[in-house]
Structure 1
Amino acid sequence: MSFDTLPPPPPLSQLCEAGQVALFLDFDGTLIEIASGPDAIDVPDNLPDRFDILAARLEGRLALVSGRGLDNIHRHIGALTIARAGSHGADRVLADGSVLGEHAQPLMPQVIEALADLAEEYGALLERKAHGAALHYRSNPESGEAIGVAAAAIASENGLVVKRGKCVAELVRPGADKGGAVAAFMKVAPFAGSTPIFIGDDVTDEDGFIAAEKLGGFGIAVGERASQNARYHLPLVKDVHAWLNL
């Protein structure tokens, strides 16, 4: 549905009064503004401390679910004491630091080499992650279609899948999606038995919306991109912060 046809979500306090709520939050474009490159982001002050306060309100039922690698998130905002999933949900860690599920595997060297050649050909930025790799082409958006086709070919040759986002194409292993992360967290304490709410702005967040809906919750789309699976909408990053009372 178009963003302008979705209503704003009920206040978080009202939802919490009705029952136990679990929040799953995307990072880029949801909690922080989209930047010209993955390392150009402006992170709000004391974000980990704000997460801790929100997690306490939710009795621990808070998780960050990002396309970024967990090591990248740590580099930008420091150590976190909430549940988190990186690399589009492939790398999952509980609040106490224990790994949820199997350890995610890195991409093969030949894939990284092929993506590096593709980045050079189209003037894209190659972001190497512990469990994936992404090509950012915000500086040359016209190359998006060609990069997408070439990335899909590399993925097909190596048993991988492509995740598309705002001026980014990323190769990950099959099953690495945000919906899978939501489903995995919802099977364990303290998330089990609660109502999941996924908040995100990009195409890859649709998997999170779908998973939340299947588990009795819903998705909240952020920004102007039309969403087929969200139930509610928040216009801007600052509106997300206000709704969360971060």
Structure 2
Amino acid sequence: MFLDIDGTLLELADDPDAVRADGATRALLGDLARRLDGRLSMVSGRSLEQIDRILGPIAQALPVTGSHGLEYRWNGVWARPERLPVLEDVARDFNTLARTWHGCLVEEKSFGVAFHWRLAPEAQQPAQALAVHLAQAHALKIQHGKDLVELRMPGGDKGQAVRRMMARPGMAGTQPVFFGDDLTDEAGFAAARALGGHGVLVGPRALDGSSTAATLSLPSPAAVRAFLRDFADGSQPA
């Protein structure tokens, strides 16, 4: 089982730094890991450091992939590339634009920089145009998401993360199920399906007719947690 965090396991927040799992959600993850005999993995666009802050100590007990597949941790062993210095220039240019509108946020990650316009929708077009320019100038990858655009180092995606984990002993030969909510999760859905499993699309995109590689859906993060609690307690079949 592969779980995205923002918008999937947990509700989105206007301030990305404010997202935290409560005690019940942390306990749920521990129970899921036991039910699945360790075959539970978190896959997020957040950095590993951010995931640790959001999930707390339980994150150290799980296989975790961050930064859209660019970094991961398994049994305490980290693997990650070197951060490109040019991301500092991207952060500067994004911050300059963000000061134009009240409510814009710039989120600096280990291997990317995201521009959030959730509270200032009028910033969407200028932010996307700047992202295209900077991506071309610095050979970075554009990642679109809910009310945000992110520039990140190339070389990874959530599908790669699924394939990497599914090659590990204990996961190889099992059926992957990937839960996600956003365009960034489509590669994870596709990889899960290619390996004989399923993608579960969470939230409004499941209802608006958007094209997706997911084969199943749930309406909200609350519904995800309820489903996973039933599964962890044995009410849903393995």
Fold match by TM threshold 0.5: yes
Q: Which has the larger share of helix?
A: 2
Q: Alignment RMSD, CA only?
A: 1.6
For residues 112-140 of structure 1, the C-alpha deviation after alignment (integer angstroms, 9 at most, x for no partner) is 22332223223431111122221111121
**Counterpart selection for 1:103 from 60, 68, 80:** 80
Aligned pairs, how many?
220
TM-score normalised by L of structure 2:
0.87
Q: Which amino acid is the alignment partner of residue 222 of structure 2?
A: K
1:116 and 2:92 correspond = yes
Q: Which amino acid is the alignment partner of residue 126 of structure 1?
A: V
Whole-angstrom distance in 2 between the partners of 1:227 and 1:89? 23
Match of 1:9?
A: none
Give matches, 1:1-246, under 5 Å: 23-79=1-57, 80=59, 81-94=61-74, 96-99=75-78, 102-108=79-85, 110-123=86-99, 124-225=104-205, 226-245=210-229
Larger RCO: 1 or 2 (CA < 8 Å, sep 6+) = 1
Tell me, yes or no, if the aligned pair for 1:32 and 1:44 is still in contact at 8 Å. Answer: no
Tell me, yes or no, if the aligned pair for 1:134 and 1:169 is still in contact at 8 Å. Answer: yes
Whole-angstrom distance in 2 between the partners of 1:83 and 1:173? 22
* Cα offset, 1:227, TM superposition: 4.2
Structure 1 segments of 4+ aligned residues over 6 angstroms from their partners: none
- The alignment partner of 2:176 has SS state of strand
Tell me, yes or no, if the aligned pair for 2:178 and 2:188 is still in contact at 8 Å. Answer: yes
Tell me, yes or no, if the aligned pair for 1:115 and 1:151 is still in contact at 8 Å. Answer: no
* Cα offset, 1:52, TM superposition: 1.8
- The alignment partner of 1:195 has SS state of coil
Q: Percent identity?
A: 39
Whole-angstrom distance in 2 between the partners of 1:86 and 1:60? 18
Whole-angstrom distance in 1 between the partners of 2:27 and 2:136? 42
For residues 93-122 of structure 1, the C-alpha deviation after alignment (integer angstroms, 9 at most, x for no partner) is 11x1123xx5222132x3322332223223
TM-score normalised by L of structure 1:
0.84
59-68 vs 76-85, greater mean Cα deviation: 76-85
- The alignment partner of 2:90 has SS state of helix
Whole-angstrom distance in 2 between the partners of 1:118 and 1:107? 16
Q: Which amino acid is the alignment partner of residue 114 of structure 1?
A: V
- Give the unaligned 5+ runs of structure 2: 233-238
* Cα offset, 1:158, TM superposition: 1.6
